[in-house]
Chain A
Amino acid sequence: MALVEVRGLKKAFKKGGETVTPLDGVDLDIYEGDSVSMMGPSGTGKSTLLNAVAGIDPPDAGTITVAGTEITSMSRTKLADWRAEHLGYIFQTHNLVPVLTAYENVELPTLLASLSRSERRERVELALEAVGLTDRADHLPRQMSGGQEQRVGIARAIVMNPTLVVADEPTGSLDAATSAQIQDLLVRLNEELGMTLLMVTHDSEVAQLAGRRLQLDGGQLIELNEPHAAMPSPTSGVLAA
């Protein structure tokens, strides 16, 4: 059974008096441990699909089921709870809270769970270690480079060991060298930590890192390669539950 099942997803919106339909009955299955990239020209609806799967942009029609839970009919509050428990979101522009340190930014999602202070600390330290930023824990975002900020954003996304990690152009705002570091990190997330990853990218090099590559065109998804076998779920490693 697929971890993420998207069925008949539709989304349309008005743009300059014209109705645009970026998602027109999209079907998609993502299996546990998959690494999936979505490519396509700007405005084709890649981010719309990603945000719908992330539960922050409700579709007009269709269903999305993640780990057996249908999220399309949930209220905003239930969706927030679901995201806190199951989803890690990596933003293009990291979106760290500027007045919080790296440690405090990564700690934010753990505040939503019933964890003791020591449990929270353990998780945050593991996540920062996983992205190689233990020594920057006390730094504010403005005291870090763009790449470091993005790594903090990734640590924040994985700190609760989510069911699914989604990334919207995770290297879109970085230079080539920093982008390579982030690409390595994303590969590690999937291959070493076994996290299921769905990412949107313009960068074909980044897209090549994923086991499955999809293209969204004319409101429909096209598989660019044969999906590989689902990876086993993590039973060990720094972020295993």
Chain B
Amino acid sequence: MQLSDLHAGDVAVILSLGSSALSVKLMEMGCLPGEKVEVRYKAPMGGPIAVNVFGYVLGLRKEEASLVQVEKCL
């Protein structure tokens, strides 16, 4: 599933990212395969989501979050 599919409070592990310029940027900002992500909160009306990753909170749009393949932790 994609990072954009998660709900607030969900925890997941990053599996892979695409190979676009934006996925490089995401990786540089710490969204690496194997990293744990936790969805902290979401903006109203389908706006960006904020995830805790790599020791800080990163806000990103759904379009960007959909580049990140994750596996949800139960």
A binds B: no
